[in-house]
Structure 1
Amino acid sequence: MVNLFLLQRFGLSLPFMEGLPGVVLVQTLLYFPVIMVATAAALSGIDRGLEEAAQMLGASGLRLHRRILLPLARRGYAAGALLTFIRVVDDLGTPLMLDYPTLLAPQAYVRVTTVGLADGEASVICAVLIALSLVALWLFTRALGRKELTSLGQSGKRSGVSLGAGGTAGAWALAALLLAPALLPQVGVLLLSVSREWGPTILPSAYTADHYREVLWRTPHYLWNTLRYAILAACVDMVLGTVIAWLLLRGRTRGAGWLHA
């Protein structure tokens, strides 16, 4: 859609919108909010007193963020990067939609659907995906360790910075510049879901709601099965995560280090 718009309006096309560069671009736009949310949560948990002490010693502006805040919040953005890596490694839909199946997850899917569950190479690919996720988790725990200088307590309300009219307008413009490309994959999927015909045009030439009627009314069990699975998985993970976190941080359990790893 973007390439077609640029080609029709300006006679240009972006070569990185297809193949592996396109997969990287789309997954970046899809998953950068994960790192953003994790980093924002880590920054909000830094003790205000540490920031004030750094300011008293002469750190301010970008130097304060680069030398003080970002190192203290490294657990947040590292955790976001870990989640993004694990999610991207086993992503199936994006490479298939962009016609780039030469990745591990699409290859496992193709082999299972064509050869069958007894295919040995598909099992090897799945084992490699699991190993990659475990290695990434191990590297994360080794790089950061269990103890951080960051204090989760808040010492008063965090002071804001007045940007002024020009700064506020610039901040909104920057946010719009970042969010507009990030929403393109979602917009494309939404348009595809309501399109009846979509030829070589920027937007669909005809629209329909038949696809939604098929999924939501004629085959609603797909939706309900997905919701039940997601809710059940979230509840089980919440219980397990709470118990394991308590054992690691408050309990005196033998082998807690192995449990953390």
Structure 2
Amino acid sequence: MAQSTPKTVLLENLTWTEIRDQVQAGKTTIIIPVGGTEQSGPGIAVGKHNARAAYLSQKIAEGLGNALVAPVVAYVPEGGYAPPSSHMRFPGTITISDAAFEQMLESAAQSFAAHGFRNIVFLGDHGGYKKDLEQVAAHLNKAWSGSKVRAIVPAEYYESSSDGYAEMLRQRGFRDDEIGTHAGLADTSLQLAVAPQMVRLDRLQHGPKLGPADGVYGGDPRKASAELGQIGIDAIVLHTVDALRKDTQGR
């Protein structure tokens, strides 16, 4: 009995012939989710960005209808290791150099271009390498000048998950010193909506207020909830899908 192609947007769950056929049928957008393996305080597992990038990329691809999702890039620049700096001061964080990171992304993008994808989308879940993504896209677009292939870094994705989401929380009465920029209320709520098993909510709610020495920057995760997180998740998906539809229209 013939088997039908599985209903998935995940590239790694498809065979090469299924990918070929889907590209020929018009699925010419590939989303490369870029996460990171870093500390997020004592209340969130170090794979936070990877889980979030995977989940959101899948929802965005499903919303677009003409996209597939590449495997998550889990190794990104996170600081130095001799001596340890930035997130590398906390066990479990993994770092690579900016040069290695950019070369890896370029190689992945060139691979997809060789296989017929026209829109190579980098979705970065972590603000620390935003400039790297933009540099890679600029370099690729220069190399692809005159062709039908283009690299895209949608600003709406990170904007919706950072400043945009913070403003939504302010409108619901939360203060900036609760919302935070890393492992605070915002970060923890988004993770509860995506992968609650990665959050130690009981420990956070009944523990002391955390600070920079704990890996929590400018926020307080104790009032975090999946309900608050879902508000942010819905906004990220909606705004990114809308932006990518405009950027890839007719391509």
Fold shared by both chains (TM-score > 0.5): no
Q: Structure 2 length as normaliser, TM-score? A: 0.28
Q: Which structure is higher in helix share? A: 1
TM normalised by structure 1 equals 0.27
